[in-house]
Amino acid sequence: MKKKVVIGMSGGVDSSVAAYLLQEQGYEVIGIMMKLSPDNPDYEENEGGCCSISAANDARRVADVLDIPFYVMNFKDVFKKNVIDNFIDEYMEGRTPNPCIVCNRTIKFDEFLRKARALGADYIATGHYAKVEKQDDRYVLKNAEDNKKDQTYALYGLTQDQLSRTLMPCGEYTKPEIRKIAEKIGLEVFKKRDSQEICFIPDNDHGNYIKKYSGRVIKPGDFVDKQGVVIGKHKGIVYYTIGQRKGLGIALGKPVFVNDINPITNQVIVGDEEDIFKTGLIAKDLNFILFDKLTSNLKVTAKIRYSAIPQSATLIPMENNRVKVVFDEKQRAITKGQSVVFYLENLVVGGGIIEKIL
């Protein structure tokens, strides 16, 4: 009897080919599109955006070609509660969240897995570029074959139970190989461009999104220098993030960068570029994959944002599910609210949310 796998289909080339690869491996495949974003007329017709009408049509056409069942499931309420509301709250507190990580943890590998189990599925699958393997008595998360597309940074929050029920067939291939497979089997999405924006913000303007849809009052405030001297006016802290240089709207005769954001005083602190290079951080809400708990110092490489190159660092365990991360060399624009993810060669050790910059 075939094992049953439910795959999240976005209408993109990765999840489409993942469904085909699983078929080829002998699984009974069911395609499901997760309807995540709240109703938004600006977004519903956004060509190619995940959850858009065109994306749903693309996914349905792929399912027809593969001759697999396809359904659209409504996750809008739980997505708003867990992802969008958190996104807004974090920006209002002067932090810069990563909604994809929150979505993976609370929706795609939690709520979706529960729904799949209710359908009698043995596994869920996604089009992520990462590898899940069993090593001794633990499931591990490994870098994808394609380093340029590797998505392990966004997946560090997966638990052992979730990893044991997850398949990611694209992790064994490069992106060009995935596109070639799609073209070979007659999927029109082989040439579809990758989505780059936050899925519920099609124009990538998070500040205006929060102003328009949050119902919160976005208060203008002061730009100040390191000494606290007022040097200009900002339009609201939700528009800024650590390390930002463009779009500040202040002219001081030299480039200045956002050094910090203070939600209590509603101030954005700016300074020279050298001021945003820091030696370390404290992370909270940790999840470890290679082991249950960090009990002693550990030398790793660490990424402080999705696009970063892993940098050599030392993990120092702390109380209350926190860890101190000390880098061998200063890092640029470590940002509260983002995630830091730890690696040992091609294995994900785990990660957490950046709480404090050192």
Task: Return the H-helix or E-strand segment holding 53.
Answer: helix 53-66
**CB-hemisphere CA count at 13 Å for 117?**
12
Is 318 annotated as contributing to ligand binding?
no
| Whole-Å CA distances, 298 to 157, 290, 310, 356 | 19, 12, 15, 20
CB 7 within 8 A of CB 19: yes
The yes-or-no answer on residue 170 being catalytic is: no
Q: How far apart are the C-alpha atoms of 125 and 140, rounded to whole Å?
A: 16
Residue of 14, 40, 27 lying closest to 198 (CA atoms): 40
CB 110 within 8 A of CB 158: no
Q: How far apart are the C-alpha atoms of 270 and 256, rounded to whole Å?
A: 6
Among the listed residues 50, 51, 100, 103, the single catalytic one is 103
Q: How far apart are the C-alpha atoms of 122 and 165, rounded to whole Å?
A: 7
Sign of the alpha-carbon dihedral angle for 25, 30, 35, 36: negative
Write the DSSP string, 57-84. HHHHHHHHHHT--EEEEE-HHHHIIIII
Among the listed residues 50, 51, 100, 199, the single catalytic one is 199
Is 33 annotated as contributing to ligand binding?
no
The yes-or-no answer on residue 50 being catalytic is: no
Is 171 annotated as contributing to ligand binding?
no
Is 8 annotated as contributing to ligand binding?
yes
Is 127 annotated as contributing to ligand binding?
yes
Is 14 annotated as contributing to ligand binding?
yes
Sorted by sequence, the CB contacts under 8 Å of residue 34 that are 6+ apart come out as 8, 51, 73, 75, 107, 108, 112
Angle at 283 between CA 207 and CA 344, to 5 degrees: 115
Both ends of the chain: CA-CA distance in Å?
55
Angle at 110 between CA 290 and CA 3, to 5 degrees: 85
Residue of 113, 108, 105 lying closest to 158 (CA atoms): 105
CA 131 from centroid of its chain's CA atoms:
16
Sorted by sequence, the CB contacts under 8 Å of residue 212 that are 6+ apart come out as none
Residues noted as catalytic: 103, 199
Q: Indicate the annotated binding residues.
A: 8-15, 34, 127
Q: Indicate the annotated binding residues for ATP.
A: 8-15, 34, 127
